[in-house]
Structure 1
Amino acid sequence: MDAFFLISKLIGFVVSPANALILLLLLGVATLRWRFGRRLAALATVLLVVCGLSPLANVLLAPLEQRFPRWDAGRGLPDGIVVLGGAIDNAAFARTGDLALNEAAERMTDAVALARAYPAARLVFVGGSSGLVDSGATEADAARAFFARMGVAPERIEVEDRSRNTVENAAFTKALVQPKLGERWLLVTSAWHMPRAIGCFRAAGFATEAYPVDFRLPGQGTLWPFFFVSDGLRRLDLASREWIGLASYYATGRIDTLFPAP
């Protein structure tokens, strides 16, 4: 396990807004006998409510989701379709054999639709195991089973099962498919993850066209508040992780620009 992967996971846990605020609250509770502790606990409580109910998460998520427009099918047929992992619970698949999709399920369902719409295009699923502990199966293993269940011919499915983050997604996929000059490849991933994904594929020298899915912004608008604190904090964690990911990838030279654009 390389140092960057381990450090990124540990930092991701600490800087997650929900985790950070809970740690702050616990510190305040542990020091309640002092005025400092009481103020800290009160501050953490207020921030939890504000971050959970206010539209802050949507404000942070909007630029990410709106950075790349929806793909225009009128531009011509694609030669290949690259689908990034992140939508399947590979641990559950390893344990029970069941296929459990999460909130990013559109990565998989849209991939099936694209595979049917463009039967001549190559279909490549990208995703190993991103956890610190080996679950016994990669996401690629579960993806093979999912696509087969959806009626996609097994011989058509190509998988890259070693990558653990977006940088490796790009580098290992390019090595696998060896794209030729002039070919058109679609990159299917969540809209909020698309800027970082495109940045990594560009840095790897693999030209792809964005096919964003899994939009999270509410139809009522960016400034619509949340009804449940848990919903707001979960989305805030999501947006914060992407912004931190963009900043860290740019600072370490893994992407060429801080906020990749079309």
Structure 2
Amino acid sequence: MLYYAAKLFWFLMRPEQLCLVLLFFAWWLIRAGRRLGQHLLAGVILFFALLSVWPVGDYLLQPLEDRFQRAPLTTDIAGIIVLGGGEEAELSKARGTEEFNWAAERYMALLPLLQSYPQAKVLVSGASGNPLAQHISGAIVAERWLRDAGVKADIVFEHKARNTWENASNLQPWHYQDPRPWLLVTSAFHMPRAVGVFRKRGWNVVAYPVDYRSFPPGQSHINTNLSENLFTLSVGLREWVGLLAYHLTGRTSSWLPAP
């Protein structure tokens, strides 16, 4: 129930959805002769005007993406954990192919990592983030892609985890006692929450962030792609909301986990 409530909450609070609601509210106020409607409409227009030239989402993503640095490949590890999310599970099933999205680096990083750690055990976890498509597994897409790439490493594919908490929970059977850390691979903006969740579940993990979405502080620049700027803003806002929600529900070791 909590999973579906979280999905509904975010559906209503996404920046594009919220702006749409505000536009309808502004229209209603203007029709009612309220001056507030004009101010509200002007505010939404100014927001989109700013977003059409400046990646506002960078300011939300930068502190998350710079929180953890990549662990050196000389680190002695117990294994590698790759969190799903880089695949387009529904499209892959519909097309009969392996389709990936902006977070494909989560899987791409695995190939060079296996060259550095050829004997490492690998855990890949992920179902579908769509509450209406829970019968589709993202891990299956990764499994087929790695098989087609000729990868023959010792890989476990976990197909049921719908979120980060379930990633860490469903992988518990492979959480054997080993003083060495596990290398955790996920998007850089998602790394603080992922580390916090795995620590809460008793895992010893070190970060290997990939899939950076923002430029480093001081290097943000004009970007006239409104849809891209809106997307990165949505990603950053969602992750900060997720950090707060996971902290309040006791699912992370701290509000903003640190190295």
- Whether these two folds match at TM > 0.5 is yes
Change (3 A) 1:115 1:74: closer
The 1:75–1:116 alpha-carbon spacing in structure 2 relative to 1, beyond 3 Å, is closer
Q: Which amino acid aligns with 2:88?
A: D
Which residue is equivalent to 1:253? Answer: 250
- Equivalenced residue count is 257
Once the two structures are TM-superposed, the CA of residue 222 in structure 1 deviates from its matched residue by 4.3
| 1:62-73 equivalences in 2 (<5 Å) | 62-73=62-73
Q: What is the CA–CA distance in structure 1 between the aligned matches of 2:216 and 2:255, rounded to whole Å?
A: 28
Asked whether the 8 Å contact 1:80–1:184 carries over to 2, the reply is: yes
Alignment-derived partner of residue 236 in structure 1: 233
Question: TM-score of the superposition, structure 2-length normalised?
Answer: 0.93
Q: Structure 1 residue 225: deviation in Å? A: 3.0
Q: AA paired with 2:65?
A: E
1:196 alignment partner, one of 170, 193, 197? 193
1:147 match: 146
Change in CA separation of 1:195 and 1:49 when aligned onto 2, cut-off 3 Å:
same
Q: Is the 8 A contact 1:123 1:158 kept in 2?
A: yes
Is the Cα contact below 8 Å between 2:89 and 2:141 reproduced in 1? yes
Residue 239 of structure 1: CA displacement? 0.4
- What's 1:117 paired with? 116
Query: Where does the alignment leave 5 or more consecutive residues of structure 1 unmatched?
Result: none
Pairwise CA distance, 1:176: 2.9
* Letter paired with 1:204: R
Once the two structures are TM-superposed, the CA of residue 8 in structure 1 deviates from its matched residue by: 0.7
Bigger Cα displacement from structure 2, 123-132 vs 32-41: 32-41
| 1:93 corresponds to 2:92 | yes
CA RMSD of aligned residues (A): 1.8
Q: Compute the displacement of 1:140 (Å).
A: 1.2
List structure 1 segments (4+ residues) > 6 angstroms apart after TM superposition: none
Contact 1:193 1:242 in 2 (8 A): yes
- Distance verdict in 2 for CA 1:52–1:10, change over 3 Å: farther
Give the 3 Å change call, closer, same or farther, for CA 220–242 of structure 1 in structure 2. Answer: closer
TM-score (norm 1): 0.92
> Whole-Å Cα distance in 1 between the matches of residues 71 and 150 of structure 2?
24
Question: Superposed, which structure 2 residues align to 1:169-248 within 5 Å?
Answer: 169-173=167-171, 175-218=172-215, 221-248=218-245
Partners of 2:219 and 2:200 lie apart in 1 by 31
Q: Which moved more, 1:221-230 or 1:185-194?
A: 221-230
**Corresponding residue of 2:159:** 161
Whether the aligned pair in 2 keeps the contact of 1:125 and 1:160 (CA below 8 Å) is yes
Structure 1 contact 18–48 (Cα < 8 Å) conserved = no
Instruction: Name the structure 2 match of 1:127.
Output: 126
Q: Say which SS state the counterpart of residue 57 (structure 2) adopts.
A: helix
Conserved 8 A contact 1:112-1:150: no
